[in-house]
Amino acid sequence: MTEKRERTAGTFEFQGSLPRLPVPALEETLGKFLLWTAPLLDERGGKATTDAVDAFLAPEGTGRKLQRRLEQWAKETPESWLSGFWLRTYLDSSAPLPPRPSR
């Protein structure tokens, strides 16, 4: 008796129809950064980190310039703006991965 199997979609078959991954707002990213680093820092380290984030967020600060470049990169990249970084960071390295790389 032969079993009839339904054809399943390939891994990337619908990739082109998926919505593009948005570039998160710089303020959102840095807010998360401050939240995640707070438990690791003492009061002095927390203040220094907050001051660095404030400078990074300044109207003509490095953060704004890099954010504009990232947004331009996202427009010019045919696939997700994150895919190249992801591939280089997680798949091109021969180093062992952390047991839980993301949550």
pLDDT at 11: 78
pLDDT at 101: 59
Residue 84 vs residues 38, 44, 87, 92: alpha-carbon distances, Å: 30, 36, 5, 10
Cα separation, 49 vs 30, whole angstroms:
10
pLDDT at 12: 77
Per-residue pLDDT of the chain (103 residues; tens, 9 = 90+): 567 777 777 877 887 788 888 999 999 999 999 999 999 999 999 999 999 999 999 999 999 999 999 999 999 988 888 888 888 877 777 777 667 656 5
pLDDT at 65: 97
User: Residue 39 carries which side chain, given as an amino acid letter?
Assistant: P
User: Residue 41 carries which side chain, given as an amino acid letter?
Assistant: L
Q: So where are the chain's domains? A: 23-90
Record the pTM: 0.70
Cα separation, 39 vs 52, whole angstroms:
17
